[in-house]
Chain A
Amino acid sequence: MTRPRDHDYLPILKRDLADGKVSRRSFLRTATLLGLSAASAYAFADKVTGVPSEAQAQDAKPKGGTLRISTTVYDVKSPAIASTTAHPLIYSQVVEYLTKTGADNVTRPHLLKSWEPSTDLKTWTLHLRDDVKWHSGRPFVADDVVWNLTRLLSDEVGSSVLGLMEGYLLNSVDTGKVDDKGKKIIRHELWDPKAIEKVDDKTVRLNLKAPQLAVPEHLFHYPAVMLYPEEKGVFGPGAIGTGAFTLKELNVSRNAVLEAKPGYWGEGPYLDRIEFIDVGGNEQAIVNALISGQVDGAFQILPDFYPLLKDNAALQYYQVTTADTSVVRMNLKHKPFDDAKVRQAFRLAIDPVKANQITFGQFSTPAEHHHVSPIHPDYAKLPEPQRDVEKAKALLAEAGYKDGVDVELVIQQNPPHHLRNATALTEMWKEAGIRAAIKVVPNPQYWDVWMTAPLGMTVWAHRPLGVMNLALAYRSNAAWNESAFANPEFDKLLDEAEAIPDPKARSARMADIEALMQREGPIVQTYWRNLISFYDKKVVGFAMHPTYMVFCNELAIKS
């Protein structure tokens, strides 16, 4: 077996880092994306920049103990159709991903030893680790990967991975049948029978229909865990995985108990036992549970409660800056949002700094209406958007809405800051003649209308790259394009950006995209939130992860 070849761009990247043309963080991100192992990337970066990596500093962690974490305990029978970031909290301790994006927003190989993209980013070769074994004792092999990926992409399973990878791995086929409502029934199939190709027992090759930069990130999408094929996709207590723990007990909405599995291939586990406790959907209840010591830590804490917990001597505060946000998206299929002037007026009427202040205050940063975050490596800094009520009014008048517009903003009941954001926006809109009524719906009901409502506030989870969100949400006809935004120029720019591995070069292209979004885009976006949580001070090894992941094998409890 030949040693994986470095990506063509890597040497250039290394030079840019040495020259200070890219930041240390950008370097780590892109280098790992291009197949350099995280250890090597960190080592190189440390050598060049002289800053020691925190990943290297590892105290000896104590062993033993039970960790109790408050979270919603969902049914995780079928990780493939997991629909929230709380689902993997339980199963990802047992079954694992091929890759892993750390709390530092850097993606590293996990069950993979390394990956290797082609220069055109259309062929990705995945090298599996040699030392990974299933709990049954059988080695982890390429067939397992092929089975899992193929399954995740089938219509019958209904995984959201399908939506993510559809663009570069699948074709849509019209079955010719229609359903009761006369709608065509569309099925999906791999665009090429060899799209997911087993090279040998430890190597899998993905042959893409279109170039894709974020394949490793996609492999860390939360449903994309590697299940034990013999169990036919069903997960549950006693299920076989490759992880550091096994699931002992699962009581949906109550609790889940996991126990350490000795002989884990990676770090840890230090803990004997983890218990995930569901104290119900009430945020206050979670805080109460923390205060009263019923749990050692929480999936997350609403920033509203920060003042209540910050002075608690027993608790340690954790936070992470993320690209987690919610956007007010306008659906272009509905008047008045078919007119770009109206959309721009909706943005111009808003002062993102003020909206951000009401929404989260210190726990977020103002956003700039283009869904690319400063923490994204491909972010390009544009002038901060300024509020201009007069111009907004003028634009509305130009678009034929001299007397303003009446709209209904649909928002989810939870989290509560959605309502605050919406309140701040509607108040500011009011001055520009935009009369928005807020309609709060129970969260599940929002998902009935999220693709169709004229004006809605949709939460978008953190994704490591700026292009990822843009591709998912705003590319013409993308599966999750909730705004029906279809702009050839945008698509073209995005295609170009996605083919540029160089963050510098890409951010130049991103600047064009961001400007386009600010001018014609379908969203009003005013904040990026930080995720915060509190853990008991006895818990060591924890870091707040931008997608709420907790790597329990790295955690330990001090006595």
Chain B
Amino acid sequence: MMRTILRRFSRSPSALIGVTLIVAWGLVALLAPLIAPYDPSAIDFAAAADPHPSLAHWLGTDSSGRDVLSRLIWGARTTYIVVPLAVMSAFAAGILLGVPAGYFGGWFDALVSRLSDVILAFPALIIYIILITALGPSLLNIIIAVTLAYAPGVSRIARGITLALREQDYVAAAQARGESSLYIMFAEILPNARGPLIVDLCLRAGYTVILTGTLGFLGLGLPPPTPDWGGMVVESAHLLPIAWHMAVFPCVAIASLVIGCNLLADGLRKEGLK
């Protein structure tokens, strides 16, 4: 099993690069306490006067005198908490709505589809802005907002796949055995929907990284002093011409992780087509 997965990745260079980036950042997130040279919120009052990269602070310090490298490393951990939680919750909601909608059809499908239409009619960022300004920025609220904004899209995909898969003979076979709808939806149909759903998951994870950054940029990010890449850019983007290192490194981190997600999605999709 493991070997076939490895072989598949080796066939798609883009998926391989994508996985490498994602895993590398994941390791950074996992090992943050071990590899970060400083406490991410500790202030070096001496370095505050000259924040530029030095031997003591390889990537310099930020506008509050905190070590950029350490915040970058701990920021990976924040990202690896926020993004998977938010995306998973969106997928859980989307799948729990979309699969039954596609499987049962009828009024439930109509209800879910119309509701999805309604929510999808809102530009995503507007949902975030309205919700976050109303609820206040916090991990939970970001998860709620991402779930609300993404669940309809996920449910559409899940519904579409279910609609196609429910016509498969093995579903008919399960029905003919008198299996419960729950079993059919989640044991017979869902495992076969995983390909497109995983591709979509990668894409949405990438968007969520962008989104958390953008929310931070608009001042709606995670509360400080949480080391958060988006927040790091926000706090220092205005200093770009003076102290480029504060914003550029987190920008690179965000971009590389998103690129990783997109490349992986791309690779998986191509493999899926074969």
Q: Which residues of A contact B (CB under 8 A)?
A: 282-284, 287, 302, 304-305, 307-308, 354, 357-358, 361, 413-414, 416, 419-420, 422-424, 426-427, 437-442, 445
**Could you tell me the distance between the alpha carbons of A416 and B217 in the complex, rounded to whole angstroms?**
12
Partner of B45, one of A284, A357, A445: A357
The answer to the question of B63 belonging to the interface, with a C-beta cut-off of 8 Å to chain A, is yes
Contact B223 A438 (CB under 8 A): yes
Contact B63 A420 (CB under 8 A): yes
Given A307-B242, A308-B242, A427-B43: A284 and B223 interface contact (C-beta under 8 Å): no
Contact B223 A416 (CB under 8 A): no
User: Chain B nearest CB: distance from A373 CB in Å?
Assistant: 24
A-binding segment of B6-14, B104-112, B206-214, B231-239: B231-239
Given A419-B235, A423-B43, A424-B43: A358 and B48 interface contact (C-beta under 8 Å): yes
Q: Identify the 5 closest CB pairs spanning chains A and B, nearest first.
A: A423-B64, A284-B238, A413-B219, A307-B242, A438-B224
User: Chain A nearest CB: distance from B210 CB in Å?
Assistant: 20
User: Chain B nearest CB: distance from A532 CB in Å?
Assistant: 15
Contact A440 B219 (CB under 8 A): yes
Q: Which residues of B contact A426 (CB under 8 A)?
A: 41, 225
Q: Which residues of B contact A416 (CB under 8 A)?
A: 63, 235, 238
**Could you tell me the distance between the alpha carbons of A427 and B64 in the complex, rounded to whole angstroms?**
11
What range describes how many residues of B lie at the interface? 20 to 34
Given A358-B64, A440-B137: A308 and B241 interface contact (C-beta under 8 Å): yes
Q: Which residues of A contact B84 (CB under 8 A)?
A: none
**Could you tell me the distance between the alpha carbons of A284 and B48 in the complex, rounded to whole angstroms?**
21
User: Chain A nearest CB: distance from B15 CB in Å?
Assistant: 38
Contact B137 A284 (CB under 8 A): no
Q: Which residues of B contact A287 (CB under 8 A)?
A: 238
User: Chain A nearest CB: distance from B17 CB in Å?
Assistant: 34
Can you list 18 A-B contacts (CB < 8 A)? A282-B238, A283-B238, A284-B237, A284-B238, A308-B242, A358-B65, A361-B49, A414-B219, A419-B64, A420-B63, A423-B64, A427-B42, A439-B136, A441-B136, A442-B133, A442-B219, A442-B220, A445-B136
Which of A416, A422, A437 is most buried by chain B, counting CB atoms within 10 A of its CB? A416
**Could you tell me the distance between the alpha carbons of A302 and B236 in the complex, rounded to whole angstroms?**
13
**Could you tell me the distance between the alpha carbons of A308 and B240 in the complex, rounded to whole angstroms?**
10
Contact B64 A424 (CB under 8 A): yes
**Could you tell me the distance between the alpha carbons of A437 and B222 in the complex, rounded to whole angstroms?**
12
With A414-B219, A442-B219 known, 19 other A-B pairs at CB within 8 A are A284-B238, A302-B238, A304-B239, A307-B242, A357-B45, A358-B43, A361-B48, A416-B235, A419-B235, A420-B63, A423-B64, A424-B64, A426-B41, A427-B43, A437-B223, A438-B223, A440-B223, A442-B220, A445-B136
Q: Which residues of B contact A357 (CB under 8 A)?
A: 45, 48-49
Task: Give residues 28-83 of B contacting A (CB, 8 Å).
Answer: 41-43, 45, 48-49, 63-66
User: Chain A nearest CB: distance from B64 CB in Å?
Assistant: 4
User: Chain B nearest CB: distance from A179 CB in Å?
Assistant: 24
Q: Which residues of A contact B239 (CB under 8 A)?
A: 304
Q: Which residues of B contact A441 (CB under 8 A)?
A: 136
Residue of B nearest to A284 (CB): B238
Given A419-B224, A420-B63, A437-B223: A304 and B238 interface contact (C-beta under 8 Å): yes
Contact B224 A422 (CB under 8 A): yes
Contact residues of B: prevailing secondary structure: loop
Q: Which residues of B contact A282 (CB under 8 A)?
A: 238
Q: Which residues of B contact A354 (CB under 8 A)?
A: 45
Q: Which residues of A contact B220 (CB under 8 A)?
A: 442
Partner of A440, one of B48, B49, B224: B224
**Could you tell me the distance between the alpha carbons of A244 and B43 in the complex, rounded to whole angstroms?**
50
Contact A423 B224 (CB under 8 A): yes
**Could you tell me the distance between the alpha carbons of A78 and B179 in the complex, rounded to whole angstroms?**
71
Which of B41, B64, B242 is most buried by chain A, counting CB atoms within 10 A of its CB? B64
Q: Which residues of A contact B42 (CB under 8 A)?
A: 427
**Could you tell me the distance between the alpha carbons of A42 and B131 in the complex, rounded to whole angstroms?**
57
Q: Which residues of A contact B43 (CB under 8 A)?
A: 358, 423-424, 427
**Could you tell me the distance between the alpha carbons of A284 and B133 in the complex, rounded to whole angstroms?**
23
Contact B64 A420 (CB under 8 A): yes
Q: Which residues of B contact A439 (CB under 8 A)?
A: 136, 223
User: Chain B nearest CB: distance from A469 CB in Å?
Assistant: 27
Residue of B nearest to A353 (CB): B45
Residue of A nearest to B45 (CB): A354
Residue of B nearest to A362 (CB): B49
Contact A438 B242 (CB under 8 A): no
**Could you tell me the distance between the alpha carbons of A108 and B133 in the complex, rounded to whole angstroms?**
44
Residue of B nearest to A426 (CB): B225
Q: Which residues of A contact B219 (CB under 8 A)?
A: 413-414, 440, 442
Q: Which residues of B contact A361 (CB under 8 A)?
A: 48-49
**Could you tell me the distance between the alpha carbons of A438 and B235 in the complex, rounded to whole angstroms?**
14
**Could you tell me the distance between the alpha carbons of A447 and B171 in the complex, rounded to whole angstroms?**
59
User: Chain B nearest CB: distance from A508 CB in Å?
Assistant: 35
Q: Which residues of B contact A445 (CB under 8 A)?
A: 133, 136
Residue of B nearest to A408 (CB): B223
**Could you tell me the distance between the alpha carbons of A283 and B224 in the complex, rounded to whole angstroms?**
20
**Could you tell me the distance between the alpha carbons of A414 and B220 in the complex, rounded to whole angstroms?**
12
User: Chain B nearest CB: distance from A245 CB in Å?
Assistant: 32
**Could you tell me the distance between the alpha carbons of A307 and B43 in the complex, rounded to whole angstroms?**
22
User: Chain A nearest CB: distance from B248 CB in Å?
Assistant: 15
**Could you tell me the distance between the alpha carbons of A442 and B136 in the complex, rounded to whole angstroms?**
9
Type the 1/0 row for B230-273, where 1 means its CB is closer than 8 Å to any CB of A.
Answer: 00000101110110000000000000000000000000000000
